[in-house]
Amino acid sequence: MKTKFAIGVLLFAALAVGQATKPAAKNPALSGTASTKSEAARKPAGNTTAPGLPSRATAESFIHHAFGWDPQSKLTVKDVKWSPAATVAEIDVHAETPTGPGDRAIYVTSDHKNTIAGQMFPFGGQPGVKPTEAQVDAFVKQITANSPGLTWTVLEVKPNALDNLTEVTVVLTNAQGQRGGQRFWVTPDGQHVLLGENGPFGADPFAAARAELTKGINGPSKGPATATILLVEFGDLECPSCKAAVPIVERLLKEVPNSRLVFQQFPLTQIHHWAYKAAQFGDCIARQNNGAYWKFMDAVYGVQEDISGHVESSDPNKKPDLSYAEQKLTELAGQSGMNGKQIATCAADPSTSNRVDRSMELGKQMQVTGTPTLFINGRKIQTLGSMPYDSLKRLVEFMGSPAAR
């Protein structure tokens, strides 16, 4: 049974959106629209070192960089205030779109480095106390309306993951057995949860990621070295969604000629057992012949199901046999114009593992949690399979324009 990494994320998000109309969301303490407290009173007591609320100018610049790529939508900052959770700021945004007007909230951590665009929900925790598994279980049950056939397990509870927010990761499994991860964040007071899309904050929110990627990338490339748009894809050669993304990325490179692609190996080793071996082969080929790498990648994707059918098993007690994968990867390296046996020897060298590990570590630093993840001049996109191509192209072109710098 093939796992789809993103299915839980999409399912959880869809259910969460449905919860927005429930009575609990109308509570003024949650909506942040009917508070009688002054802004001074909302500021965290005793926290004299906190930077306070983001400036309106910074909030407006952030909105432009984050959403200005879509000419059909006009977003304006309505208010910058403290949210119901102390230390977390709230930017209220009004949007005029082709489908009509609407409002949304964007939450900013106290260090002004991270945002969560989504919703705030109640959570029955205590200040400074790590959320318990029972509390997380109760929250997920509530937010998914105890959906039939949906089960979940708590994978990780990580204090101070985003500034002083506790990050909780759960793995959801639907009735068809498809699994996916979902993250949410518990505020320091233990009384609130933020559920939504996480991203950077600032007047130029993608500048730090852009600099980090430029410094750390070590994968094969395609496109002019002088291109103004740097596309960095973190991919997994065993990942069906990565295979499906190839024609999308190829079309972008063709239609946006001032773009360059760098492919970073990011094997999802917990669910894809031959992906790391493929990454080792790919790294060796790319170092010896950049052009041959792309032939190798296409060839691997072409027999992806065949290799997985021999290696993967639905029996968790059965240890994967990588000998078939290594045999096929050696053959594909030869078909790509390389010496297959030499590439296999290189793949087994510890220095190759170190390079693959560095690529994976770079992805983790960039908060990559699934594949394919594409960075466009530092801006992270995880929706290649569902984002309309015309919208994606406009976004890429905007990120390469002076308006985005």
| Bond before 372 cis per omega within 30 degrees | yes
Lowest mean pLDDT, pick from 142-151, 184-193, 206-215: 142-151
318/96: higher pLDDT: 96
Q: Which residues contact 335 (CB under 8 A, 6 or more apart)?
A: 295, 299
pLDDT tier, 180 (very low <50, low <70, confident <90, very high otherwise): confident
User: Global pTM?
Assistant: 0.80
CB 201 within 8 A of CB 372: no
Q: Is it the case that residue 44 has pLDDT exceeding 70?
A: no
Tell me what the mean pLDDT of segment 339-359 comes to: 98
Q: Is it the case that residue 198 has pLDDT exceeding 60?
A: yes
* Domain boundaries for CATH 3.40.30.10 within the chain: 207-404
How far, in Å, are 156, 169, 234, 236, 335 from residue 329 at the CA level? 34, 34, 20, 14, 10
* pLDDT computed for residue 317 by the predictor: 79
d(CA 139, CA 131): 11
In this predicted model, what pLDDT tens digit does every residue of 111-129 receive, in sequence order? 999 999 999 999 989 998 9
* pLDDT computed for residue 86 by the predictor: 87
In this predicted model, what pLDDT tens digit does every residue of 376-395 receive, in sequence order? 999 999 888 889 999 999 99
Pick the CATH number of 207-404 from 3.40.109.10, 1.20.140.10, 3.40.30.10, 1.10.10.60: 3.40.30.10
